[in-house]
Structure 1
Amino acid sequence: MLAGVELGGTKVFVLRARGRIILDREMIPTTTPLDTLGRAVEILKDWDAQEAFAAMGIGSFGPLRLDSHAADFGIMLPTPKPGWAGADIWGTLTAPFDCPAVIDTDVNGAALAELRWGAGAQGPVPSDSLCYITIGTGVGGGFALNGRTLRGAMHPEIGHIRVPRAHGDSFAGSCPFHGDCIEGLVSGPALAKRFGVPGHEIDPNDPRWDHVASDIAHLVSTILLSTSARQVLIGGGVGMGRTGLLDQVREKVVTQLGGYLSHIDADSIDQIVRPPMLGDQAGPLGAVALALDALEGAGIA
């Protein structure tokens, strides 16, 4: 029996699974750390009393300290989420349970799930490396390379990469740290500021979508060139919610790469830059994948 927690900025999924099959799932809103983590622990305690957990996987929004040698391992670093800076995610969720556990970002977990059971597992040759991008309230990116998530002192923060700006695009960006980093250009709040109306009211034919597609394509091209990922999956409310945007991004990626990566062309790009296959299950299954890694690390699997 495995325990999983997917801690998001607006809601939390607490789940238990046997193998990769999710048996039970509870959703709670993300409020304060004390209330949110406390409620999650109570749910887990009830389940653990019924059948003890063999391992736990935690996928959390960031930024998190993921260096296991650091004094603040598993603690939330400075974040725009009010009240969450300094929250002890790891200690609070794992202390009551006597089982191996792994903590990572929610997007790293989603990337791992997609690699093993989703887009990476499809096709004639399973993928060994992919990037999972979510574009919504912010821009996050997770990597599963050679079967493991990418992490070090922290975790990838691709949302704060700067990209070349499209010709004629004068939007200053909305990131409080960097202005026109990719999150400041294409996240949901950035689009509302760029277009001057809430996201659901933006005209799908507005020519400024071409600038947005260019920005996202430059991010994708950077990832393909710097990591050799076989696939880049684009999800989230913005990533999956705009008909035609993904096709624009694909076309621009091929143009931007200029034939330098010979395996990427107009015929192959649809399988390389694509939506996630697991949809909204990628996050919860990511927590399960992390729990399975905890089992393996403990020599149980």
Structure 2
Amino acid sequence: MSGNRLYGCVEAGGTKFVCSLGNDEGLIGERARIATTRPEQTLAEVRAFFAAAADRHGPIDAYGIGSFGPIDRDRGSPGWGSILKTPKPHWSDAALVAGIVGDADVPTGFDTDVAAAAMAEATVGAIGGIVVYVTVGTGIGGGVVADGVPLDGERHAEMGHFRVPRHPADTGFAGRCPYHGDCLEGIASGPAIVDRWGCSLSDLPDDHVGHEIVAQALAHLSITLIATLSPRRIALGGGVLHTPGLIDRIRREARRLNNGYLLPDEMIDSVVAPTALDGDAGLLGALMLARRAAQID
């Protein structure tokens, strides 16, 4: 393929859609941030961005869309390219691919935003084997790739929706997940933090017990991933992970939980680590989804 090919890249998040262009050399500088309101409004703005881009640069050769979930990623399904039942108001059954690509007959790669970010993490870091990317923000989700390719299960992973042991100081909080209450997302996502303490984790005093509560929950996630997948890297991204000192707290708690068994303790520092791509990981992953779709099709 020529480096002159043009790709439409979309990171579709629960708060905002980020759109950009790319080619076979990387992302192009143009991008737009569009609020995630109702599907008809948000997707119309996304289409308008790419229509204007095509007027300036020529036709888009392929699209890559990394989306918040749950999504239908089975190409054999009549609902492929759609959001499934989601706690995000108005977005259940939204036809995401059709709403962005429209009638254009172009290859389109579609996966979760976290699977796309994991692709970017593995590719840019030149990491083989299993790589996991987890985002902790409006929700909690994780993606897994093997040698840079997303794992192809019956559905995509839902790492935010299992239960972890509760911190003794937090047993009175019922959790905010509308399906499971106090699953991981229900106790450690950004909205769950605000529900308890009225502000983001980064705004709490350094000695506030909230830091311990969230770190313990995310350390359990990390140790579970180590025990089940033995990944080369777990990259923790998202708004909650911008809290100063949180990664160190997670690592300390993960070492305590590990108790010297799964890995030498010093290896946890490289496995439970923030991604160097936080911010552009989703868009880079969307670009890789577009390139892969163009190659397959």
In the TM superposition, what is the alpha-carbon distance from 1:295 to its structure 2 partner? Answer: 2.0
Matched, 1:27 2:33: yes
User: Gaps spanning 5+ residues in structure 1: where?
Assistant: none
Superposition pairs for residues 24-63 of structure 1, below 5 Å? 24-49=30-55, 50-63=57-70
Q: 2:260 is matched with which residue?
A: 259
Matched, 1:204 2:209: no
Q: Is the contact made by 2:119 and 2:285 (CA closer than 8 Å) also made in structure 1?
A: yes
SS at match of 2:117: helix
Question: How far, CA to CA, are the matches of 2:71 and 2:51 in structure 1?
Answer: 24
Q: 2:271 is matched with which residue?
A: 272
Matched, 1:16 2:17: no
Cα gap change, 1:220 to 1:33, in 2 (>3 Å): same
In the TM superposition, what is the alpha-carbon distance from 1:166 to its structure 2 partner? Answer: 3.2
Q: Is the contact made by 1:145 and 1:229 (CA closer than 8 Å) also made in structure 2?
A: no
Q: 1:247 is matched with which residue?
A: 248
User: Gaps spanning 5+ residues in structure 2: where?
Assistant: 1-5
Q: 2:288 is matched with which residue?
A: 289
In the TM superposition, what is the alpha-carbon distance from 1:111 to its structure 2 partner? Answer: 1.0
TM-score by length of 2: 0.90
In the TM superposition, what is the alpha-carbon distance from 1:164 to its structure 2 partner? Answer: 2.1
Superposition pairs for residues 110-259 of structure 1, below 5 Å? 110-117=117-124, 120-121=125-126, 126-170=127-171, 171-194=173-196, 196-199=197-200, 201-239=203-241, 241-259=242-260
In the TM superposition, what is the alpha-carbon distance from 1:54 to its structure 2 partner? Answer: 2.4
Q: Is the contact made by 1:111 and 1:286 (CA closer than 8 Å) also made in structure 2?
A: yes
SS at match of 1:137: coil
- Count of residue pairs the alignment pairs up: 288
SS at match of 1:160: coil
TM-score by length of 1: 0.89
Q: Equivalent pairs: percent with the same residue?
A: 38
SS at match of 1:172: coil
In the TM superposition, what is the alpha-carbon distance from 1:168 to its structure 2 partner? Answer: 4.9
In the TM superposition, what is the alpha-carbon distance from 1:107 to its structure 2 partner? Answer: 1.2
Question: How far, CA to CA, are the matches of 1:213 and 1:29 in structure 2?
Answer: 29
In the TM superposition, what is the alpha-carbon distance from 1:128 to its structure 2 partner? Answer: 2.5
Matched, 1:4 2:9: yes
Question: How far, CA to CA, are the matches of 2:92 and 2:58 in structure 1?
Answer: 33
Matched, 1:75 2:77: no
Q: Is the contact made by 2:190 and 2:240 (CA closer than 8 Å) also made in structure 1?
A: yes
In the TM superposition, what is the alpha-carbon distance from 1:20 to its structure 2 partner? Answer: 4.1
